[in-house]
Amino acid sequence: MQGDDNNSGAKGTSTTQVTHGLFADETETEDQSTCSGEVDAKSPQTTKRKLSGAEVTISREKPVSENRSRSNVVHLRNFSNKKETVPPEPKSKALLLVEKLYRNLLSIKETPQTNYTPKTKPFYAQPVDISKLLNETERAAYAQIETEEGRKLAYALYQLRHSQEHRTVLGQIESNILSIALGMSLSGSSEIYLNNKKHSMDKIKQQIPLHLFNALKYIVQYAMIYKRVKSETSHPQNETHREFLKDASQVVSQYETTLISLNPTGLTETYASMYSSYMKMYQIDQISKEIKTKNYKSILVSEYHRRVIDRMTVLYLQTGDPSDQYGEYFIKNDTVDYGLIPEHMANKEVEEICYVGKYAQKLRYKNIHLPEQHQDLGLLKLSLNRLYYTHYHETLTCLFDFISDVFLFRRVDFIDFLFDEFKENRNLNKKSLLSIIEEGITRCKIRTTNHASLDIQAETNSAEYFSADGSERVYLEEPFSLYCRFSPDICGLIDAASTSHKLSLIFRVLWKIKRLENLSIYLRSHSPRISLVIQNLLKHLYYDTIDQNQPKLKWNFAGLALDEISSDFSAKIDQIIGTIKNSHLERVLCSIEVLLVKLGRNLKSGIVSTTDDGLLSEIVANIKEYANDCSSSGLSTVFAPIW
């Protein structure tokens, strides 16, 4: 059908074509986009619509102008007797997912075995015995399950609960990682507190992954080290430990600052970020252990120990007090403890330090000070000895003379005066005895000193002596004991208590021999041999023992002068004590006294007897034993006439 030309020029041309079965195949091969109504921009607009049984193509020419009508061409083709198809409605995503899963399952079942190779093998749950992992109540319920399906289900439920516990414990640990790393959530046995509950490391190991547990283990380990070092800074065990912890406190503060500024959230991140701080804290702990066990062999520890010892030494030399509250210094109570001397110091050097510190302190009590310009130990020692010589030489000389005159019987006239006075006045009290002693000192013009005084203790008890045959008992009157009291100023130079006791022993023995001498003089005509024994014994004790051991002053300014004077004095007194305080000599004196007492009683009763062979032989035997004990050949020569 064709329209009018006039109308086509004004309104445009519209043409409709219907194509029958002759061109049906060609039309079916056209683009689907054209059939669906798409428009070609280059050619006149053409629209193809597919109907049931025929296809209609509508072509529109491009209009000449805006008011010009378009020409349409419709092409009709033959079509079958099918009904028109309506487009389906869109499906939801959930429905599409279900259909996809269903198709996958069907494809697995329908695909032949030769064409299907699964990527992973299917997992079939096995019945695992979990009774050991349950508590008592759960274990009882688990024991009642008899089927494999039931045990599989129990295992699956346990795994589900266990995974939830893993997530819960790990979350609590990560939320408290800062308090754990600072040791605030840790017990003394490295247990962790989470929500006020204590968790052991063995239990946590079963609840979190292994790599996270290893990180947690190291964090807890170094947190315990930090906690221990932090506590030790307030409670050091010795002065070296205190000195070391002063520097270690800076590392501890740096550890805290680094950890707080890090604000950790994960275990592995915390351990990796704090690794360098952990290594420093570990080294601090190892050094601290060496110092606490007094193992000063390593270079660093020995340097800290040297620093402390040097500071204490300076204090001891300046004040006499090393300020050692932990007993670490090698000088205690002005005495050297050789077991505490450090390796970098020699014994001789330590002895000189003790010498200067001890005696310099005594000078300070008298407001006498060492020269401050001397820093060398040898110069300090030399200055100290010269100061003591200036202030104490005369005092010590007078003291030693007083001891020799009174206690060592060097002034025989003084001893004779005391014996005569005591013989005339038998019943004397302590005050009367002291008055007689003072009078004797004045009469004999014995040089006295303000640093020594005399004191006595009268013996009221009697000593019972059994004779050799046991037939008679003789009661012997014990002599009084004379003591020397030293002033505090002298006590620092000599051992006052020990010296006073030793001088008292010497005086008692010599006084007893003096009594026997006077008694033998009275009975000389009746016992000449006994008188000779006593005279020879006195000569031996005085000339061979006492006179050779008289205390004398010798100043060695380059050495330890005061210690040498004190030790020399003590050695001489000990030598005298070892000679006269002898059991064989005591038996000799007792035998002589018994013999003289018997002679006196016999004379008083009118019985004249010049000797007692039994007692005399006993005296001779005791003298021989005494001579052998003293290893003195001169003593044997002295007593040869009576043997």
Mean pLDDT (whole number) for 209-215? 91
Helix residue spans in 444-495 (DSSP H): 488-491
Residue 24: pLDDT above 50? no
Whether 549 is in a domain gets the answer: yes
Mean pLDDT (whole number) for 364-377? 78
pLDDT digits (tens, 9 = 90+) for 133-169: 777 888 888 888 888 777 777 777 777 666 655 557 8
Whether 104 is in a domain gets the answer: no
Domain residues for 364?
A: 322-375
Q: What pLDDT, on a 0 to 100 scale, did the predictor assign at position 160?
A: 67
Token pair of 396, please?
């010590």
Q: What pLDDT, on a 0 to 100 scale, did the predictor assign at position 640?
A: 56
Residue reference for tokens 């060097």 = 410
Is 217 in the same domain as 257? yes
- Name the residue type at position 403: I
Residue 55: pLDDT band with limits 50, 70, 90: very low
Residue 620: pLDDT band with limits 50, 70, 90: low
Helix residue spans in 425-560 (DSSP H): 430-443, 488-491, 496-522, 528-539
User: How many Å apart are CA 487 and CA 267, to the nearest integer?
Assistant: 74
Q: How many residues does the chain have?
A: 643
Is 428 in the same domain as 343? no
Is 531 in the same domain as 590? yes
Q: What pLDDT, on a 0 to 100 scale, did the predictor assign at position 277?
A: 92
Indicate which CATH number applies to the domain containing 456: 1.20.120
Residue 473: pLDDT above 80? no
How many C-alpha atoms does 381 have within 13 Å on its Cβ side? 20
Q: What pLDDT, on a 0 to 100 scale, did the predictor assign at position 45?
A: 43
User: How many Å apart are CA 621 and CA 584, to the nearest integer?
Assistant: 9
Residue 125: pLDDT above 60? no
Tell whether pTM > 0.85: no
CB pairs under 8 A, 24+ apart, for 433-442? 433/458, 433/480, 437/482, 440/414, 441/406, 441/414
User: How many Å apart are CA 368 and CA 525, to the nearest integer?
Assistant: 63
Mean pLDDT (whole number) for 334-348? 89
Whether 13 is in a domain gets the answer: yes
Whether 72 is in a domain gets the answer: yes
Backbone angles phi, psi at 479, to 5 degrees: -75, 165
Residue 479: pLDDT band with limits 50, 70, 90: low
Whether the Cβ atoms of residue 251 and residue 284 lie closer than 8 Å to each other: yes
The dihedral through the CA atoms of 384, 390, 391, 392 has a sign that is positive
Is 557 in the same domain as 592? yes
DSSP 79-145: --SPPPPPPPPPPPHHHHHHHHHHHHHHHHHHS-TTT---SSPPP-------GGGS-HHHHHHHHT-
Residue 187: pLDDT above 70? yes
Judged by average pLDDT, the poorest of 76-85, 233-242, 323-332, 538-547 is: 76-85
Is 457 in the same domain as 571? yes
User: How many Å apart are CA 263 and CA 274, to the nearest integer?
Assistant: 11
How far, CA to CA in Å, does 155 sit from each of 141, 151, 158, 166? 13, 6, 5, 16
Q: What pLDDT, on a 0 to 100 scale, did the predictor assign at position 104?
A: 55
Is 191 in the same domain as 160? no
Mean pLDDT (whole number) for 563-588? 84
Residue 357: pLDDT above 60? yes
User: How many Å apart are CA 557 and CA 355, to the nearest integer?
Assistant: 13
The dihedral through the CA atoms of 217, 222, 223, 227 has a sign that is positive
Average pLDDT taken over every residue of the chain = 74
Q: What pLDDT, on a 0 to 100 scale, did the predictor assign at position 67?
A: 42
Residue 228: pLDDT band with limits 50, 70, 90: very high
Question: What is the percent of the chain with per-residue pLDDT over 90, rounded to a whole number?
Answer: 14
Is 200 in the same domain as 274? yes
Residue 222: pLDDT band with limits 50, 70, 90: very high
DSSP H/E element including 285:
helix 275-292
Rg (CA), the chain: 61
Query: Of the candidates 153, 267, 184, 254, which has an alpha carbon nearest to the alpha carbon of residue 219?
Result: 267
Selected residue with higher pLDDT from 210 and 20: 210
Residue 370: pLDDT band with limits 50, 70, 90: confident
Residue 312 buriedness (CB in 10 A; 0-12 / 13-18 / 19+): buried
Beta-ladder partners of 22: none
| Residue where a domain stops, chosen among 309, 342, 375 | 375
Secondary structure (H, E, C), 263-279: CCCCHHHHHHHCHHHHH
DSSP 191-238: -EEETTEEE-HHHHHTTS-HHHHHHHHHHHHHHHHHHHHHHHTTS-SS
Residue 528: pLDDT above 70? yes
Whether 112 is in a domain gets the answer: no
Q: What pLDDT, on a 0 to 100 scale, did the predictor assign at position 296?
A: 85
Residue 257: pLDDT above 60? yes
Is 467 in the same domain as 616? yes
Whether 422 is in a domain gets the answer: yes
Q: What pLDDT, on a 0 to 100 scale, did the predictor assign at position 253?
A: 92
**Pairing status of strand 335-336 against strand 331-332:** antiparallel
pLDDT digits (tens, 9 = 90+) for 235-255: 898 899 999 999 999 999 999
Residue 90: pLDDT band with limits 50, 70, 90: low
| Residue where a domain stops, chosen among 375, 405, 437 | 375
Residue reference for tokens 């000193």 = 449
DSSP H/E element including 402:
helix 377-406
Is 37 in the same domain as 138? no
Whether 425 is in a domain gets the answer: yes
| Residue where a domain stops, chosen among 108, 141, 168 | 168
Whether 114 is in a domain gets the answer: no
Q: What pLDDT, on a 0 to 100 scale, did the predictor assign at position 121?
A: 46
Residue 283: pLDDT band with limits 50, 70, 90: very high
Residue 127: pLDDT above 70? no
Q: Is 320 left (phi over 0), alpha (psi -120 to 50) or beta?
A: left
* DSSP-derived secondary structure letter, 186: B
Token pair of 84, please?
């028109």
Q: What pLDDT, on a 0 to 100 scale, did the predictor assign at position 92?
A: 65
Is 401 in the same domain as 420? yes
Mean pLDDT (whole number) for 50-69? 42
- Name the residue type at position 321: D
Token pair of 28, please?
């079916």
pLDDT digits (tens, 9 = 90+) for 583-611: 777 777 777 777 777 777 776 666 655 55
- Give me the number of domains the chain comprises: 5
Three-state DSSP at 643 gives coil
Question: What is the percent of the chain with per-residue pLDDT over 70, rounded to a whole number?
Answer: 67
Residue 227: pLDDT band with limits 50, 70, 90: very high
Residue reference for tokens 């013989």 = 423
Selected residue with higher pLDDT from 330 and 32: 330
Is 231 in the same domain as 204? yes
Token pair of 154, please?
């129990």
Token pair of 262, please?
């890090």
Mean pLDDT (whole number) for 338-342? 89
Selected residue with higher pLDDT from 64 and 447: 447
Q: What pLDDT, on a 0 to 100 scale, did the predictor assign at position 27?
A: 39
Is 461 in the same domain as 607? yes
How many C-alpha atoms does 316 have within 13 Å on its Cβ side? 27
